[in-house]
Structures are given as structure tokens and as C-alpha cells.
Structure 1
Amino acid sequence: MKQNVILDIHDKPKASTWFALSFQHLFAMFGATILVPFLVGIDPAVALISSGVGTLAFLLITKGQVPAYLGSSFAFIAPLIAAKEAAGPGGAMIGCLLAGLVYGVVALIIKSVGHGWVMKYLPTVVVGPIVIVIGLSLANVAVSMAMNNPEGEYSTLHFSVALVTLFITILSSVFFKGFLNLIPVLIGIAGGYVYSIAIGIVDLAKVAEAKWIQMPEFIIPFKDYAPSFSIEIALLMIPVAIVTLSEHIGHQMLLSEVIKRDLIEKPGLSRSILGDGVATMIAALLGGPPNTTYGENIGVLAITRVFSIYVIAGAAVFAIGFGFIGKISALISSIPTPVMGGVSILLFGIIASSGLRMMIDDKVDLSQKRNLIITSVILVIGVGGAIIHIGERFELHGMALAAIVGVVLNIVLKEEKHESESKDVEVNKDTIAS
């Protein structure tokens, strides 16, 4: 039975409900969106603003036909950390800009020749293991954040904060219903923060000193750094676009099913990919992490049956406003690292598990040598952190290297015929002969 639509894509909500509906989407994306900049050392306020501006740009580019919210991408966490170490914050932002440009190029190609070729080079047997690598390659980061004190030494007290945060998040996700079930990460962070205050490891002095209206720590090209192209940074960031493009396509297919419209055809995959790329480039120019469409917000759409782009736009405006409120930025910055470590243990594990689920749902047959080889090689190269050094500055490693190797193996290794197919061919030959 078809579920009733409360508000369709272009329906405008009443003023009395608009605020609450938009705030709900803000909560759904809030925890994950501020977690990414927290992990990579970027001002969370900038991430909120860039996600809001990026979402508004996405809605315009897709002609208001795709009710999607864009937030910080987890796929870029490891490359961003590596890029900042190699070339500083400015170099990392140039890398993000290049990744966004890749989206633009892919969008133009799809516009010209159609979208069938994308799935040919990015099937589930490649994308699934890469998604698993995203989660598992960040496992050490999550555990270190959970166990260590600010000096980087093991602390049972700090580890207890991570465990409390983790358990609250898990309990919220499993037992809470309705709206509260949509924000377990936010509830976990709040619970861990309260526990941290209780045991005395939170410094609220900066929150008291912060102004209500405050300029975020933007990283602007030509003002804060001189833009320069680096092969090393390009090879760190651009290959990750392979993963996020696959994520985008999956979200568009899921969203199409939720709102009962074929978004791949109209407004078209080329428009949605371009919108995602422009959002990432906007984030790079502001000093924020790359953006991507958010499954959390698709979940809100599925549960509430409210598909209005006005509600999505309202959430984007709220995110931009929050970014300029100094008290909120200072409060976010005062969250102890073990709190984020606790939720990261769950989130990074879920990312890895979602890659496995993707392979199961698509019935990837690992009894085929081809599929087994592709999966195995991607996992070991990605999780093991393999690196290719050519010269002094050329590096290709980890997830990016695994993604490229996976695509190449998918092209080189031919599909195997199933045993049942071979028998059918033999039967047909015997029938013709008789």
C-alpha cells in the first residue's frame, strides 16, 4: 500500500511547522557533519556553513527537484589528514577543490554520453570493499581518540568517557523511537559531554569568553594561503572521488525509491553529480571538508513523508546561522576528544559494515575467483596502508591506491560464466545436434 505524502517536493510548509521540520533535518546531519572537521582539525563552524551553502547550491543546480541535504564526507577524513601533514591546510583545500572538479568533469561526460558507463567501471564488487576500507582504515584514529588523554597517553578516565558515549549512542539507536531514533549520534555526544563535565575534564572558559556573533575560522585562498598545484595532493584526494561518486549514485537511487520519482533520469545524474561537486568546491574555498549527500537525511524523508525542498533549504539556512554563533562554536570545540572517539568507534564500524551489506544486497558471488581477487586486493592494500613512492614527492597510498587498483582489476579480469550457464549452453548444443 502506498504511503501518504505529507508534503511533496514543491509544497511549502506552514510557518508553524516549517521551523520544526527544518530543525529535525539539522539534527539528523549535525553529529556526523561536525565530527569530520573535529577529526581533521578544521573549525566545525566552517563545516556547518559550507554544508548549508553547499546544500542551497545543490538545490539550485538540480532545479529544486532533489530534496537532499549535503554534509561533511567521511571518505575524505584520512586523505585530508595526510594532505594537511604534507602541504598544510591550504594544500588540503586545493586537493578538495580538485576532487570537486572531478565531479564536474564526470557530470559533463554523463551529460554527453549517458550514465550507463559509470556503473560499468564502479560495480559493487569494487565499491563495496572500498567502503569497507574507509571504515577500517580509520579504526586506529577512533581507538586512539577514545583511549588517550590530551598528551597522547593512555588514560582509563578518558577511555571511560568514550565507553559511556558509545553505550549511550548504541542504546539510543536501538531503543529510542521516532524523532529521537534519528539522532543517536547527537544524543551520544550530549550524554558523553555531560559525563565529561561530571568527571571534570571539560574546560568551559572559552565558551564563557566567546561572543554570540563571531566570525568562523575560514581558510580563504590568496588571503590565508597561496594556491599551488601539487601532484602529491592531487593523488591523495582525486582518487577518493571514485568512492564518493559511487556513494552519490547509491543515494540517488535510494532517494528515488523513497519519493517515487526517477531522479537518475530527471533532473538527471549529471545535474546531481554537478551539484555535489559544486558543493565540495564551495566547501574547499571556505576552508571546510568536502560535502556529500547524507543518508541520515534520506532516512528522515522516508519516516516523515515530508519531501519539501523548502524544509531542506530551511535546514541549510539554520546550519549557516549556527556557524556564525560564537557560543555554539566554542561549545562544540570544548567537547573532549574521547567523546568523539566513542561515537567514531560506532560510526566507522557502521561505514565498514555498510560496504559488506552493499555486497550482500547486490549478491556479489565470492565463489568466483574474479570477485574474490578484486575484493581481497582492495581490502589488503587499503587497510594495510600500502604506498607507492615515485621520486621525492609522488605518493599514492591507502584508500586511493586501493580504489585505483580495484577499478583496473575490474577492467582487466573478465566475468566468469556460472556453471549453470555452461550446462545450459551444452544442453542447447545437444538439442540442436539432435
Structure 2
Amino acid sequence: MTNIQTAKPILDVEEKPKLNQWLTLSLQHLFAMFGATVLVPMLVGLSPGTALLSSGLGTLAYLLITKGQIPAYLGSSFAFIAPIITATEIGGPQAAMLGAFFAGLAYGGVAMLIYKFGVNWLMRILPPVVVGPVIIVIGLSLAGTAVNMAMYENPLADPVDFVYSGTHITVALITLAITVIASIYFKKFFGLIPILVGITGGYIAALFAGLVNFQQVIDAPWFAVPDLYMPFVHYSPSFSWTAIAIMVPVAIVTLSEHTGHQMVVSKVVGRNFLEKPGLHRSILGDGVATVIASMIGGPPNTTYGENIGVLAITRIFSVFVIGGAAVLAIFFAFVGKVSALISSIPTPVMGGVSILLFGIIASSGLRMLIEANVDFSYKRNLIIASVIMIIGVGGAYVQFSESFILPGMALAAIVGIALNLILPGRIKEEESLFNENKAA
């Protein structure tokens, strides 16, 4: 891989920052991931403090497994939002953590296969024509959650009990507007944290609208242990295969997302991380981070594009800076008032941000199809994408037995993979991603 980094890095991967700069540089990465990382647990009913803790621990484990050679930060994965909600409805947060644990093990299995057989087989199973529509399904399946949070006083109530609130929708739209403005017009570092900017602006608007209750922040202690949902301690020994079936197939999408992130960070830094330390190590690191999160009650982790953006802008690639951000996240996880402040963010603020974020997830799937030049005049591609999207968006659950229920999104991914392997005429689209990396 040729070195495409035209400017010399300020700090290379193995270099340590000066002590008087280390804290500031690490805080940049903490702020870049903060908004999205705490948003996921708030949407699925988990503890934001636990999410920060699992994010920090998972990142440190990732750096260790990749031999300190890949500057990547791991935060809460948006791809698992709908599966966590579904698994929690079936068996509580412990069931969701059980499913996340096995999803992390699936990463480990894939890492072993890549180490043994190379990486091309993965793209034959997960070409853009399969992954793109699945990502679209993930975003669209969350649309109702975002709108309900933005419009109703109690979005978790039964739909017949929904009470429309003009104040809520106003605050949500203000939050959405601020987030959009920050995304389009803010530059450099502040352009990387539009979610955090939007949540802050929406929080101020909610404060003036009388929707914020500071009492929980005042009452919260400075030191507090995050809420832990440990599946093997707080869950029945009889595993919920339904929760496992709901969570594990999502790894199909996140594995593709992970591979794409590794290609991008390789280009930014000017090294081929897919070869050294190897894609198998980075995927294993991602899987171990998800296992760690599941063991303490945090959402599954994934590498963050926001932090890759920080690398590109600052040209500071030091893994010591990334590690510093992870340590800071762990520290803030035990500051009770921080967790209480996050929990005090009103629902319409989160709904306003989610409208944009979930839409971006769906649009990212569309972008993948465009960038991979998937030709929809070719009937094979049209059939695969159409079946995935209709099954994924239209099917809430598919019950195979009393104890085995598969969500529509997971079934859509499985059917899409099967169609891609069975239908005749597989052509150049399925190998375009790795051909591009090989050429680089």
C-alpha cells in the first residue's frame, strides 16, 4: 500500500505526546465520541455511565490486541439499537447482554477464519449489494422510535396512550436544527461533534421550556458505581436463544462497517493496517470489546468514524492519545453527577438528534450502494436489495418455535446472504471493496 499521507504527522502512532498536551489531545477524542456513545444507552434503557466504562475498557483492550499499532477509539454501536430494544422486551437487559456476548464471540470466530483463510471470502458473503440494504433497514426500523421520542410525552407507553405535546416537538425541532447547522457550517474540531453541540443546544431549549429536572443531578453523589447488568450473574442459567438469534446476525453489518473503517484509517495514517497488524487482530479487538461491554451491561462497541475524523484533522495518530481518552471515559463513568446530568436530558432532545442520526444510518447504506457502483438495472441486484428491505422493514418478528423468535432485520440479512450465494451471475460488485484496497 502506498503512503498517501501527504503531510507529515505531528505525532506518529508510536509517539507519546508531551505531558502538558496529553490531556487536551485526549479530551478531543473524548468529546468526539461522547454524544453518540451516551445516546445509544439512553435510547435502549441502559446506563450511560456503564457505556462510558465499557467504551474505555473496550478501547484499551483493542489497543492491546492490535499491539498498539492502530489508533482507533471504540464507542457504542448504533447498529445494535433495535436488537437491544427487542431483546430487552423479551428477557430484560440481561437477555440483551447475553446476545451481545455471543455477537462478540462471532467476531472472534470470523477473526480466526480470516487468520486461516484470508479475507476475500468475507466480501463474497457480504458484498455491498447485501450490506447496503441491511444498513438501510437498520436506519428505517428506528424511524418510529425517533419520531415518538420527539412528539409524545411518554414515548414508551402503549400507542393508544400517546399524548401529543407541542412543547416536545418544538424542542425536538430546535435540537434537530442546531445539529444540522453544526454539521453543515461548523469547521475543524467543532465540525466533528455536531451531536454533542445539538444535544447541548437542545438541552438549553428544554431548560427554558421547563422540561429539565436538575434535582437528580443535585442529589447524585460525586462517586457512584455504574449500573451493571451481568448476564451470567443476573440471568437464568437457561440461555435465551431468542436473544442470541436477535443480536448475533447484526455482526454481519458491523463486520463490514469495521472493515471499511480500517481502510479509511489506513489511508489517513498512511499504513496498511489490514496487513499489519492484520484485519484478524482488529476484528478480534472489536469482538473482545463487545464481550467486555456485555459482561458489565454496556452496549456493544464498534470503531468510531468521529474519532477517525479527529485523526485526519489533527494529524496526531498517537495510540497514547487514544489510550488517554479511554482512561478519561473510565474516570467519568464513576462520576455520579456526570451520569445524572446525562440522564436528565429530556426525551425530545434525544428524539430530535435521533431523527437525523437514524436517517444518516439509512442514507449510509444508500451511499455504500452508490460508491460500490451497484447496478440496479441488473435484476439480480434488484431482487436481493428489494427482498432485504421489505423483510427487514415489514417484519417485526418471525417465530419459528415457542423459544426461538427471529427479528425481521436479522432474517432479512440471512435471506440476503442466501440470495447472494444462490442466485446465478455474481459479478464485479462483490469484489469491488477489496479490489479498491488492493489497488491502494
Normalised to the residue count of structure 2, the TM-score between the two structures is: 0.93
> Which of 386, 410, 426 in structure 2 is aligned with 1:376?
386
How far is 1:386 from its partner?
A: 4.9
Contact 2:189 2:313 in 1 (8 A): no
Distance 1:130 1:198 in 2: 40
How far is 1:391 from its partner?
A: 2.1
> Which of 102, 122, 128 in structure 1 is aligned with 2:126?
122
Distance 2:114 2:330 in 1: 31
Corresponding position of 2:342: 332
How far is 1:383 from its partner?
A: 1.3
Q: Does 1:10 align with 2:14?
A: yes
Contact 1:94 1:228 in 2 (8 A): no
Contact 2:13 2:318 in 1 (8 A): yes
Moved over 4 A (4+): none
Q: How does 1:245-394 map to 2 (within 5 A)?
A: 245-394=255-404
Distance 1:327 1:235 in 2: 37
Q: Could you list the per-position Cα deviations for residues 73-107 of structure 1 after superposition, in whole angstroms to 9, with x for gaps in the alignment?
A: 11111110110111111111110001000001111
How far is 1:173 from its partner?
A: 1.0
How far is 1:153 from its partner?
A: 1.5
How far is 1:133 from its partner?
A: 0.9
Q: Relative to structure 1, is the Cα distance of residues 177 and 294 closer, same or farther in structure 2, using a 3 angstrom cutoff?
A: same
Contact 2:420 2:426 in 1 (8 A): no
How far is 1:222 from its partner?
A: 4.7
Corresponding position of 2:49: 45
User: Identical aligned pairs, as a percentage?
Assistant: 63
Contact 1:169 1:184 in 2 (8 A): yes
**Secondary structure at 2:398 match in 1:** strand
The residue type equivalent to 1:380 in the other structure is: I
Select the structure of larger CA radius of gyration: 1
How far is 1:255 from its partner?
A: 1.0
Distance 1:46 1:406 in 2: 34
Corresponding position of 2:437: none
Distance 1:387 1:97 in 2: 21
> Which of 127, 142, 147 in structure 2 is aligned with 1:143?
147
Distance 2:189 2:151 in 1: 31
Corresponding position of 1:95: 99
Corresponding position of 2:431: none
Distance 1:371 1:299 in 2: 32
The residue type equivalent to 2:36 in the other structure is: A
**Secondary structure at 1:238 match in 2:** helix
Q: Could you list the per-position Cα deviations for residues 257-289 of structure 1 after superposition, in whole angstroms to 9, with x for gaps in the alignment?
A: 111111111101111110000000000001000
Corresponding position of 2:408: 398
Q: Relative to structure 1, is the Cα distance of residues 332 and 92 closer, same or farther in structure 2, using a 3 angstrom cutoff?
A: same
Q: Could you list the per-position Cα deviations for residues 34-91 of structure 1 after superposition, in whole angstroms to 9, with x for gaps in the alignment?
A: 0110000000000000000000000000000111000001111111011011111111
Corresponding position of 1:425: none
Distance 1:417 1:326 in 2: 54
Contact 1:94 1:227 in 2 (8 A): no
Q: Does 1:240 align with 2:244?
A: no
Q: How does 1:185-204 map to 2 (within 5 A)?
A: 185-204=195-214
Distance 2:231 2:132 in 1: 35
Q: Could you list the per-position Cα deviations for residues 339-371 of structure 1 after superposition, in whole angstroms to 9, with x for gaps in the alignment?
A: 000000000111111111111111111110000
Contact 1:90 1:226 in 2 (8 A): no
Contact 1:182 1:296 in 2 (8 A): yes
Corresponding position of 1:422: none
The residue type equivalent to 1:305 in the other structure is: R
Q: Relative to structure 1, is the Cα distance of residues 113 and 335 closer, same or farther in structure 2, using a 3 angstrom cutoff?
A: same
Q: Could you list the per-position Cα deviations for residues 364-416 of structure 1 after superposition, in whole angstroms to 9, with x for gaps in the alignment?
A: 11110000111111111111125322222221122111110110000011226
The residue type equivalent to 1:290 in the other structure is: P
**Secondary structure at 1:414 match in 2:** coil
How far is 1:229 from its partner?
A: 1.7
How far is 1:134 from its partner?
A: 1.0
The residue type equivalent to 2:141 in the other structure is: S
Distance 1:137 1:388 in 2: 15
Q: Relative to structure 1, is the Cα distance of residues 375 and 200 closer, same or farther in structure 2, using a 3 angstrom cutoff?
A: same
Corresponding position of 1:162: 172
Contact 2:180 2:194 in 1 (8 A): yes
The residue type equivalent to 2:34 in the other structure is: F
Corresponding position of 2:421: 411
Corresponding position of 2:116: 112
Contact 1:368 1:416 in 2 (8 A): no
